[in-house]
Structure 1
Amino acid sequence: MIDPAERARAVDVFGQGAVTDLLVLSHGWNNDMAEARTLYDRLLAALRACLVASTPPLGARQLGVLAVLWPSKKFAEKSLIPGQAASIDSGEMADALMEHIDTLKGAFDDPEADAKLSAARELSPKLADSPAAQREFVRLVRGLLTRQPADDEGNTDGYYNALDAQDLLQRLAGPVQLPPTPTASSDGGGAQNLGDAPASDVAGGAARIGGFFSGIASAASNLLNLTTYYQMKERAGMIGRGAVHALVREIADGQKPPKIHLVGHSFGARLVTSVALGADDQPPLRIGSMTLLQAAFSHNAFSDGSTGHPVGVFRRVVAAPARLSGPLLVSHTSRDLPVGLAYPLASRIASQNDSGLGDASDPYGGLGRNGAQGTPEASELDFGKPGTSYSFKGGRVYNMNGEMLILGHSDIIHPETAYALLAAVAAS
């Protein structure tokens, strides 16, 4: 729910005609609002630097900013990185698992969720040797969700609840080979491996994304991550299609409305895409441009179903008549650890082991990892330096390759990303 006073103020400020273009920003995985505000401050500073340099051709257009703050939680990444999944016998993984559980307090909608998490925490040291503890742990974690989990196409994930507890943990604990991260050429052109990513994205040091993770504690942590993923996915969609969509529509229906530009990171990308989609009974909301930075949802989200990919849940956002007067930018890189691993977890549960887990051939692949798949409106582009002459067209989707620029899930603030965002605004 949006504070009524803040809503009224936003409608008043952005409905007077002084602002010609409104950026609606949404953060993704964060532990607290301070992190979200820091992300916004850094992004706005990068945009301001581009505007001061007059690199994007915006002319006399005046930008306003509406920043969304919503409750979200991070994945626990440390236990997922190859080389970090030590045996629970050492006690280190049991401690890490309990720490992981502690970070999830307050993350779930179930009013009894914190009590269930406390009970699961008490079971953590027993998981290695006790099948009964494993069954009870899985029961408690499954009980954190108030709704049946579904995949990104809206299909109920029957594997999550139907599998026997030990079978579920075995599938999540078994070795998973992830696609290797591309390395830069030897001519000094960029980052050499995932160890060059920001510390906030890579806990534990210089580990490559390719490798194995296994063990009962990793299985338990993976189950918590997947459950958190389902909760945050549902929450982002609900907030986007509900309260934020209603506010943006009220601004857009004003006498002197600005053009609306949606910008989201991680699950915030799902939130703003849900804003563009709106409720089924609502007329289309016209959007100037969209920029999705390391989006944490399906790479099939905009698919038309013509190339074997399922029809995407957000297909109507780009399908004719398109809601977009400008372009849709999708940043992607295999260096995105959370998005690159969230989908292999779903693949493991469904026993989809014959594809490159998490990559473009995986039916469970992520948008921030692979870009939009099965989408005829999509084309591939590299991020260019400020001043690059992009030929963005309205209603088109541009998969922006960030392999040598974006070194981790949250490494999204660069002059190149800021400039591309503003170039998308200018093209709308």
Structure 2
Amino acid sequence: MLIETKIGTSLNYYLIAFDANGKERENNGELISQKVLEILSSAKKSDKPITDVFLMSHGWQGDIPAAKDQYDRWIAAMAKNQADIEKMQQVRPGFNPLLIGLHWPSKPWGDEDLSAVSPDKTIVSFDTTDDSQEELIEQYAHRIADTETTREALRTIFAAAGEYDVAPDTLPSEVREAYEVLIKEASLSSEAEDADAWSENESLNLDPESVYEATLTEENEDVSFGIGDSLKSAGDAFLNIPRLLSFWKMKDRARNIGQTSGFNLLNRLQQVTDNTVRFHLMGHSFGCIFVSATVAGTQHNKLTRPVNSLVLIQGALSLWSFCSNVPHRKNIPGYFRSIISDRKVTGPIVTTQSQYDKAVKNAYPMAGTLGIFGGQDIDFDVNTEKTYPGVGGIGCHGIQGDGLEIINYKEGMLPLQESYNFESGKIYNLESSKYIVVPPSLLDLFMGAHNAIDKPEVAHALWSAALAS
């Protein structure tokens, strides 16, 4: 499936979609990865070979329509930066990029139809038969933790939802107890072969009553909770925490699909190209986990060659993910430490941070020891010395820790007319609040400016990372 940007430029991209198990989905009977491999192979023999391959991954709450929308906007921003493209052409004579958008199902009950765009809405009715309610319980269980304990807790919540016409002011005791069971089950759901290193300091510390109260307040103020559903009933309100708990499941899914299917795809692309072809990876939110896992692989596999640049935009992964020793742990490196120790990225690694990103500031610690309503006062000034929290996202703090050559870019994210001095093998944390921001009227309690990355200045950083590689 070739998707053209909507501004009439020569920058197009291919959408390669995986299912929840990491299997590539066919589009009109064909695998797009095979089409891309054929293009790379044939271009190698032509007078216009591919010089650079860009692979991009969206984050949490991404179904097919959302993925298409995000890639359209990101690549349109890249295409508008003609000065950056001209620099690439100067440094890389014959510059001819191939862009790939990677899709993995990260939105519970999202639209995964490759051929059509459906309304971004899920309506759950509690006036159902026993069979249909059990089907809904199964769907929720698969997205939280596939255990019988989870199912029993969900049955309690569904039963309570049927007893109220409107959401009560406080949580019924049985619903709160069911929430606590779900939170515990979700925090135990990681299936990583080295789950201890993957989880690092994280454990769910979510206060059900606080989230429920915020849900009711938000409904009254007509503010989106970042889920896309309107909370008009007790059922919708009661199911808010189970929906939020998909955070944990999707975080693990990003890692799992990235280090298997994403890795295998990247390896195949490298195998059909010459060593002169450069590979650049960019992720957003949980997509930063996806692309990092794609580069890192597992301890049992290795890429054909290193990639050339890695850009992590508002990353929803641990700030300790790349360090040699996670603080307060006994000789445990960050989960993606091998990217540094084995030099799996030859060029720069670039990250962005924005104080207006409520998702990384609030939702990421939801899955950590800080808690979503922990009241942590986070200092966003990366130019001052500070004590970092045990759990926090790269989108707030940048990559941190021992054994890293880190440059907290004093100027922050640069305007288009200024040039970065990125160097190979170094990590650059860019304070980006000047550009990754939205008008106050559009601020969302749990999202903020998290998705406001289709800016020319963000694209400028991405181009500059590729240029320096």
In structure 2, the residue matched to 1:89 is none
Cα-to-partner distance string for 1:73-104 (whole Å, 9 max, x where unaligned): 28xxxxxxxxxxxxxxxxxxxxxxxxxx99x8
In structure 1, the residue matched to 2:425 is 395
What is the deviation of 1:425? 0.7
Q: Bigger shift: 270-279 or 296-305?
A: 296-305
Q: Is the 8 A contact 1:56 1:423 kept in 2?
A: no
Question: Are 1:136 and 2:154 an aligned pair?
Answer: no
What is the deviation of 1:131? 2.1
What is the deviation of 1:2? 1.4
Q: Bigger shift: 250-259 or 107-116?
A: 107-116
Q: For structure 2, which runs of at least 5 residues remain unmatched after alignment?
A: 1-22, 109-135, 215-222, 229-235, 381-386, 438-448
Distance 1:116 1:248, change over 3 A: farther
What is the deviation of 1:144? 6.2
Distance 1:224 1:13 in 2: 40
In structure 2, the residue matched to 1:280 is 299
Distance 2:269 2:238 in 1: 46
In structure 2, the residue matched to 1:412 is 453
Distance 1:347 1:56, change over 3 A: same
Matches within 5 A, 1:275-424: 275-284=294-303, 285-305=305-325, 311-319=333-341, 321-347=342-368, 356=377, 361-374=388-401, 376-381=404-409, 382-407=412-437, 408-424=449-465
Count of residue correspondences: 361
One-letter amino acid of the counterpart of residue 123, structure 1: A
From 43, 48, 55, the counterpart of 2:74:
43
Distance 1:299 1:28 in 2: 17
Q: Is the 8 A contact 1:344 1:358 kept in 2?
A: no
Matches within 5 A, 1:15-30: 15=41, 16-17=43-44, 18-30=49-61
Distance 2:388 2:454 in 1: 28
**CA RMSD of the aligned region, Å?**
4.1
Question: Are 1:69 and 2:103 an aligned pair?
Answer: yes
Distance 2:323 2:334 in 1: 5
Distance 1:71 1:358 in 2: 33
Q: For structure 1, which runs of at least 5 residues remain unmatched after alignment?
A: 75-100, 176-197, 204-216
Distance 1:342 1:149 in 2: 21
Distance 1:145 1:427 in 2: 40
Distance 1:347 1:29, change over 3 A: closer
What is the deviation of 1:246? 0.3
Paired-residue identity, %: 22
Q: What TM-score comes out, normalization by structure 1 length?
A: 0.71
Question: Are 1:233 and 2:251 an aligned pair?
Answer: yes
One-letter amino acid of the counterpart of residue 39, structure 1: Q
Distance 1:147 1:107, change over 3 A: closer
Matches within 5 A, 1:261-280: 261-280=280-299
What is the deviation of 1:296? 0.7
What is the deviation of 1:383? 1.3
Distance 1:55 1:369, change over 3 A: farther
Please state whether the residue corresponding to 1:23 is helix, strand or coil.
strand
What is the deviation of 1:392? 0.9
Cα-to-partner distance string for 1:208-241 (whole Å, 9 max, x where unaligned): xxxxxxxxx999845752x222101110001100
Question: Are 1:251 and 2:269 an aligned pair?
Answer: yes
Distance 1:38 1:291, change over 3 A: same
What is the deviation of 1:349? 6.7
What is the deviation of 1:379? 0.8
